[in-house]
Amino acid sequence: MIRGERPYGGRGGRAAAVLAAVAATAALAAGCGIRSTTVPVDAGPAPSRVPCRTTDADAPADAGTPTVRIYLVCASQLVTVDRAVEAGEPGTGRVDVARSLLTQLQQSPSADERHAGLATLVPAGLRVGEARSGDPRRSLRLSEQPEDLSAEALAQLVCTYAESEAVGSGHSVLLGGPGDYAPRDYLCTSATKRRPTEVPTLRATP
């Protein structure tokens, strides 16, 4: 061994080897176009694997079978589902139609709907009835205050009612509860369908 030379396995040799490995790793990352970072990166939620579409969604409907359209929840959004109903249902009155739609919203999804990832959050005990004297025209009264429902359940109800020709205006519906509060005009928009946790309202109706 030459005098003054450190043994290969000494402290200096190990440090040099570590530095060389770090440099090689950095060069490899740079060559692959990868930048090192110490800041956590939020890549957003993982993509949903549920189809949110039933297998018979594209099947031609039987012309003799009446159907109603409702909104269910799937992958944190609202999706439409056409449900077959018995002949003569729903009735011709607004409240009859509203009750029929509510019944459909309260039903447990079919096996096909569950497989597609569809669910409903509308409570089974909820009821809907006629407006009171002094309520605005086309109002409906629920057995619970609308704001006491979960946001998703209210979004399902609002969009289902709003887009029913017999019940809503095409984009909104007037809903009140059992209390003395005046009905409010709830709006169903594309944003409501994308994020049913946030149901917008137009205004408090005097």
Does the pTM exceed 0.85?
no
Q: Which residue has the tokens 């409903």?
A: 120
For residue 152, how many other CB atoms are within 10 A of its CB? 22
Q: Where are the alpha helices (DSSP H) in the chain?
A: 11-31, 94-106, 111-115, 151-162, 190-194
**What confidence tens digit (pLDDT) does each residue in 140-164 have?**
999 999 999 999 999 999 999 999 9
And the tokens for 128? Answer: 């809907």
Q: Is pLDDT above 80 for 22?
A: no
Distance, in Å, from the CA atom of 86 to the CA atom of 64, rounded to the nearest integer, reads: 10
Q: Is pLDDT above 60 for 52?
A: yes
**What confidence tens digit (pLDDT) does each residue in 166-202 have?**
999 999 999 999 999 999 999 999 999 999 998 878 7
Distance, in Å, from the CA atom of 28 to the CA atom of 165, rounded to the nearest integer, reads: 63
Coil vs helix vs strand at 142: strand
pLDDT at 62: 60
**For residue 82, what pLDDT band results from cuts at 50, 70 and 90?**
very high
